[in-house]
């Protein structure tokens, strides 16, 4: 019986929330290990849509333990609102069902102010961040000045760290970013209130996970963002500020690598991206518009319209290798219904040369032209299909061709946002 990691294989929004929710009945514990409320994970259960930003996507199942690991950066205001909304819907019925790592870093108002002001100053060169303060919070963690939950719980430590941070950040905000200064008292009082509301959830989650795993409990590690947004392996600098890959699950949850046996990559049957940065298979014409409309490609966090394009096998193959993916869940196949021909990008052309591995150079990535292989499309709607053999032959061929090019097995095909709109080919927990 395996523990499983669910990891985005593209630029985020691949349908991780749906797949985590779907597999939660196989697990006892669901852990978020990186990112923050830049994530927006959508779950559709019995036709009802829920979007989660911080609480793991297992929260709609009764009696599952949800953990926010040490690698997550937490905006307490957003987390409190999310907990309250879930409780009002009859979930998270007691506080033991959610645990927050004492080592998780807290997003502060200056993180958001810096994130937003920098993006404004970057103008056309902006990253297109979610504006949630994610990058500046991770910067403070690495600079060793961040405030963790354990620091927030100790009044004297918190006051001391907050005072020093505000002094320094105000100089930066005023002199460099031309923003207003922030006030200690206001922030302090607000965060004391957050502390009171969250303190019962805070614990040593690494230790808890170890104890539970030793007792035979099964864990589902829930990635946020995606491999191509990873701070090391993505399209740097157009990335997020955390380690989004499987390796990040070990440091961000506080477990050893031997505790993760299966790694399932989530990939759309095409590609999307929110924010700036290179995207070789992007479609700026009517086909892109059709994908956006049929796939309802609007951000679950910011509502921004997502850029859309054809499936990029170079990117997904890179993700398979980087994460040690043992299988892929291919989502949103239903959205491709109606296209006569469906191209798959199998290489990039740059400066007269063919490239088949994901380039590190931002310049090469920006200028790379996709080289396509064309597959036949299909016209039948797929949303009611539940068996692979009931898919139109050309849809089956499309899935099998992708499987061959990316070099790993497709273990699930998703044909709609609903939990039940799924063709499961292999259960990774039983491997
Ligand atoms: P995540 O961030 O990876 O969890 O993905 P998001 O929730 O941000 O975006 C995925 C969107 O696609 C959500 O609106 C889902 O409800 C929806 N979705 C997931 N799987 C499918 C599918 O197979 N078909 C369709 N049409 N929509 C899907
Ligand atoms: P989920 O978990 C898609 C993108 C932003 C921006 C870049 C940096 O729902 O898949 P940040 O605010 O993290 O500093 O922004 O990363 N981004 C996402 N794109 N899905 C996400 O999360 C994302 N989280 C961040 O749009 O381009
Ligand atoms: Mg999302």
User: Cα(226) to centroid of ligand 3, in Å?
Assistant: 10
Query: Does the beta carbon of 38 sit less than 6 angstroms from any atom of ligand 2?
Result: yes
Q: Does the Cβ of 224 fall within 6 Å of ligand 2?
A: yes
pLDDT value of position 431: 82
Q: Which residues contact 249 (CB under 8 A, 6 or more apart)?
A: 5, 7, 31, 33, 34, 221, 223, 255, 260
Active site (annotated) includes residue 41 = yes
Cβ atoms of residues 254 and 3 within 8 Å: no
Burial call 376-401: b when 16+ CB within 10 Å, e when fewer: ebbeeebeebeeeeebbebbeebbeb
The sign of the CA dihedral 160, 163, 169, 175 is negative
Digit-by-digit pLDDT tens for the chain (431 residues) are 799 999 999 999 999 999 999 999 999 999 999 999 999 999 999 999 999 999 999 999 999 999 999 999 999 999 999 999 999 999 999 999 999 999 999 999 999 999 999 999 999 999 999 999 999 999 999 999 999 999 999 999 999 999 999 999 999 999 999 999 999 999 999 999 999 999 999 999 999 999 999 999 999 999 999 999 999 999 999 999 999 999 999 999 999 999 999 999 999 999 999 999 999 999 999 999 999 999 999 987 888 999 999 999 999 999 999 999 999 999 999 999 999 999 999 999 999 999 999 999 999 999 999 999 999 999 999 999 999 999 999 999 999 999 999 999 999 999 999 999 999 999 999 98
Q: What is the pLDDT of residue 13?
A: 97
Residues near 390 by beta carbon (within 8 Å), at least 6 away in sequence: none
Rounded to the nearest angstrom, the distance between the alpha carbon of 17 and the centre of ligand 3 is: 8
**The two three-digit tokens of residue 148, written as one number:** 């963790």
User: 173: helix, coil or strand?
Assistant: helix
How wide is the angle at C-alpha 348 spanned by C-alphas 346 and 354, nearest 5°?
100
- The model's pTM is 0.98
pLDDT of residue 303: 87
Q: Whose atoms come closest to the Cα of 119: which ligand?
A: 2
Name the closest-CA residue to atom 16, ligand 2.
240
Cβ neighbourhood burial of 45 (10 Å; 0-12, 13-18, 19+): middle
Distance 181 CA to ligand 3 centre (A): 32
Show the ligand 1 pocket: residues with CB < 6 angstroms: 8, 12-18, 40-42, 44, 295-296, 300, 331-332, 334-335, 414-417
Residue given tokens 């294989």 in the structure block? 9
> Is 233 marked active-site?
no
Separation of CA 57 and ligand 3 centre (Å): 12
Separation between Cα atoms, residue 250 and residue 216, nearest integer Å: 18
17 in contact with ligand 2, CB cutoff 6 A = no
Our answer on whether the CB atom of 135 is closer than 6 Å to any ligand 2 atom is yes
Gap from CA of 8 to ligand 3 centroid (Å): 10
Residues in the 5 Å CB sphere of ion ligand 3: 13, 40, 300
Question: How far, in Å, CA of 248 to CA of 236, rounded?
Answer: 17
Sign of CA dihedral 75, 81, 84, 88: negative
d(CA 169, CA 173): 6
pLDDT at 302: 83
- Name the residue with the closest Cα to ligand 1, atom 10: 15
């Amino acid at each position: 019986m395996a523990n499983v990691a669910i990891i985005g294989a593209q630029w985020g929004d691949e349908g991780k929330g749906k797949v985590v929710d779907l597999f939660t009945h196989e697990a006892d514990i669901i852990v978020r290990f990186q990112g923050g409320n830049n994530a927006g994970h959508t779950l559709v259960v019995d036709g009802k849509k829920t979007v989660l930003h911080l609480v793991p996507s297992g929260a709609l199942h009764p009696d599952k333990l949800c953990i926010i690991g040490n690698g997550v950066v937490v905006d307490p205001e957003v987390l409190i609102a999310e907990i309250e909304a879930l409780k009002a819907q009859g979930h998270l019925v007691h506080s033991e069902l959610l645990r927050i790592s004492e080592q998780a870093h807290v997003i502060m108002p200056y993180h958001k102010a810096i994130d937003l002001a920098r993006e404004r100053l970057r103008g056309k060169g902006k990253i297109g961040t979610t504006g949630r303060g994610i990058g500046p919070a991770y910067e403070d963690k690495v600079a060793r000045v961040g405030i963790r939950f354990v620091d927030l719980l100790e009044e004297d430590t918190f006051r001391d760290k907050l005072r020093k941070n505000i002094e320094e950040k105000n100089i930066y905000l005023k002199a460099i970013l031309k923003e207003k200064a922030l006030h200690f008292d206001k922030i302090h009082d607000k965060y004391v209130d957050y502390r009171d509301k969250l303190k019962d959830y805070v614990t040593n989650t690494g230790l808890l996970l170890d104890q539970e795993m030793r007792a035979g409990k099964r864990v589902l590690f829930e990635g946020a963002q995606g491999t191509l947004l990873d701070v090391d392996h993505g399209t740097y600098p157009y990335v997020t500020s955390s380690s989004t890959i499987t390796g990040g699950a070990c440091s961000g949850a506080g477990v050893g690598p031997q505790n993760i046996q299966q790694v399932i990559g989530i990939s759309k049957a095409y590609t999307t991206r929110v924010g700036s940065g290179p995207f070789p298979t992007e479609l700026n014409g009517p086909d892109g518009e059709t994908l956006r409309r049929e796939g309802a490609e609007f951000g679950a966090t910011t509502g921004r319209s997502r850029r859309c394009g054809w499936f990029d096998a170079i990117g997904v193959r890179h993700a398979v290798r980087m994460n040690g993916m043992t299988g892929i869940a291919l989502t949103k196949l239903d959205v491709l219904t109606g296209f006569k021909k469906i191209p798959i990008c199998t290489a990039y052309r740059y400066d007269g040369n063919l490239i088949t591995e994901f380039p590190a150079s931002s310049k090469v990535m920006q200028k790379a032209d996709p080289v396509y292989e064309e597959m036949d499309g299909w016209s039948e709607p797929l949303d009611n299909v539940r068996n692979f053999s009931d898919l139109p032959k050309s849809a089956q061929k499309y899935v099998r061709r992708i499987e061959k090019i990316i070099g790993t097995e497709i273990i699930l095909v998703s044909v709609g946002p609903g939990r039940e709109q799924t063709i499961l080919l292999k259960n990774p927990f039983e491997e």
